Structure 1
Amino acid sequence: MRSRTRTRTLSVPLLLAGALLATAGLTTPAAATAPAPTHLTVAADGSAAFTGVQAAIDAVPAGNTSPVTITVQPGVYRETVVVPSNKPHIRLVGSTGRAADVTIVYNNSSGTPKPGGGTYGTSGSATFMADADDFEARHLTFANDFDELAHADQPNHQAVALRTRGDRIVLANIAAHGDQDTLLLDSANKDRQGRVHISDSLITGNVDFIFGRATAVITDSVIEVTRRPDGTSAGYVTAPSTAAQFPGFLITDSVITGNVGDGTYYLGRPWYAGGDATLHPQVTIRDTHLSAAVRATPWTDMSGFPWQGARFAEYHNTGPGSAPPTTNRPHLTDQQAAAHTPTTWLGGWTP
């Protein structure tokens, strides 16, 4: 008996429906976009789908509306990484719970030549750039190991380890290591607030190494001042460039320390970025242990702008680097301090 091959054809109504959908720029259910991944893994040894952090971030679809967790296995990842502004809700987590086990590091500086011409500039030198809202990083080290001594003839040694530009950024149990301009806490522009919450972390550097215009709370952390590459002991912890309508940096319940000379480090100086006199830089340091590294007059001028025009203050600090209020060392009153808390600083956002 002769077998008969049976072919399946679409009915005319279904064909017409498909044509109408195509004309309207739509797709049939069979061609619908696959859902975004919810969990990706990175491993330097090739045991996971991705061997680099940037490759995993590239795999997250733009405009994602739900959280994506990227787990990073132990290793050193020598690469630059960008979380673009159109990829919010990314959660980057070191797999062991120890920041020292996962390091993302590179060595660009502000003056490093770019392949296409020009130089990277300070912001562009960052090893890791978190430009999206609702970004979270836990149990990771971000570093910039640019060698200043080896490039002594090159100008502009600023070298950023981690840059943030988004809003509602959470950094928990991370480390940020560098020399000059280690941690750039920024926002998309002067009129947009970028809120950052940093906890249980380690930040190291020597010149303006916590800087930018973000509204940032740093709590329960260690801020370690380090010697300059040539062995000298001098520098500045913060350089805020806060817009007048926003709070700046709040450092609370932390430690500022370092194996450096006594009285050699300023707590900060005001950065009026681009000479913009409408800015109103702000730092409040409260309930924090200050080592002997801190100068007796802890604030200083920058680029012709006096520190007295900025919003610099202390409250209830302890340690050999602390001191009672003076004309050169403003302290908050108890009433003023009530408005300088993580809750008031972050304006309704609870990390």
Structure 2
Amino acid sequence: MPRSATAVAVLAAAVLAVPEPAVAATSFTVATDGSGNYTTIQAAIAASSTGGVITIKAGTYHGQVRIPANKSGITLQGATGASADVIITGSTPQSTAGAAGSATVHNLAPNSTIKGVTMQNTYGPGSQALAVYAAGDRQVYRNVRMLGHQDTFLSWGGTGAAQIRQYVYKSYISGAVDFIYGNGAVVIDSSTIESVNRNSSNNGYITAAATDDSNRYGILITRSVLKSPAAAQTVALGRCWHAGNASDAIGQVLIRDSTIGAHIRQSGAWQDMSGWSWRTCRFTEHNNTGAGKTNGTTDRPQMSASTAAGYTSAKYLAGSDGWNPVQ
């Protein structure tokens, strides 16, 4: 029999009331020996959904890993929890592949987490060669090792005032030249930063910030240890990178509440770059200890306690949405 208009309406309402089935985030295991779902990390990323979890078994994984922006919320995690057990490695220089092409891990995904792995570029001296290119907002790197020589870890949100944020916690970063750099808001917390010994009177520079002048926060190193086997007073805390010779790239770096080794320069801890004086940037320290802390030289600016209250990890990362991954 034909249904009445009322019955049809009731039926239609009932159909519309049935929720669409949720799309579950995917979980995959990667293992070089074939005991997982995939043998390469890149294949697992391609198969993963937004918010997916990729567990990587112990082993060495060669070649670039690229995490696209449409994989928001993805997690890459080492299976053992020991970062030395899972090694993602490459040796491509920027001189032949560009910054993005050289990066062993090129992470564009917002809200992503990488933990318990090593990411390295073994190219060595002679060219910039990135271990990690962090190009997405609200990224967390926990218990990782980033190993390189020049330009190990880049936080880059493109030109202009738009800024991305990364939180690096209980990790290890090594390099020689500008090995923590970029224009993002980056907090490196409770980590070890080791300068490679180039056996030179100039053993390099730790940071190269290009923070846009409209952004209050750039690179914060806090509760960390700065160390090196290099000779005393041969490593600079950083230099002023006006990326693309832009006058508005007024880098901001604060090193606070950290232990600084004797390898750090007293005079000349902050260096000029490409004709730009370091004094055009915003470089300060606060409440550091260790053999390399300032001995009172006039070219190591110290931030006052009252000002430092506004330069905490949470404030660096809060942005306009209140993001707070701080441990």
- Do both share a fold (TM > 0.5)? yes
Q: Work out which of the residue numbers 216, 233, 241 in structure 1 matches 2:210.
A: 241
User: Which residue is equivalent to 1:344?
Assistant: 315
| Unpaired runs of at least 5, structure 2 | 1-19
Residues 71-150 of structure 1: matches in 2 within 5 Å?
71-112=55-96, 120-148=97-125
Q: Distance in 1 between matches of 2:136 and 2:158?
A: 7
Residues 1-351 of structure 1: matches in 2 within 5 Å?
35=23, 37-61=25-49, 64=50, 67-112=51-96, 120-148=97-125, 157-228=127-198, 231-232=199-200, 234-246=203-215, 247-297=217-267, 298-347=269-318, 348-351=322-325
Give the TM-score of the pair, scaled to structure 2.
0.88
Q: How many residues align?
A: 300
Q: Distance in 2 between matches of 1:182 and 1:286?
A: 21
What is the root-mean-square deviation of aligned Cα atoms in Å?
1.6
Measured after TM superposition, the shift of residue 122 of structure 1 is 2.7
- What percent identity do the matched residue pairs reach? 40
Secondary structure of 2:94 counterpart: coil
Report the structure number with the largest CA radius of gyration: 1
Q: Distance in 2 between matches of 1:241 and 1:327?
A: 23
| Unpaired runs of at least 5, structure 1 | 1-31, 113-119, 149-155
User: Against the structure 1 CA distance between its residues 34 and 44, is the aligned structure 2 distance closer, same or farther, given a 3 Å change threshold?
Assistant: farther
Aligned residue type for 1:110:
Q
Secondary structure of 1:346 counterpart: helix
Q: Distance in 2 between matches of 1:189 and 1:60?
A: 30
Q: Is the 8 A contact 1:188 1:194 kept in 2?
A: no
Give the TM-score of the pair, scaled to structure 1.
0.82
Q: Distance in 2 between matches of 1:272 and 1:284?
A: 17
User: Which residue is equivalent to 1:152?
Assistant: none
Measured after TM superposition, the shift of residue 191 of structure 1 is 2.7
Q: Distance in 1 between matches of 2:83 and 2:213?
A: 35
Q: Which runs of 4+ in 1 moved over 6 A?
A: none
User: Which residue is equivalent to 1:28?
Assistant: none
Q: Distance in 1 between matches of 2:58 and 2:86?
A: 5
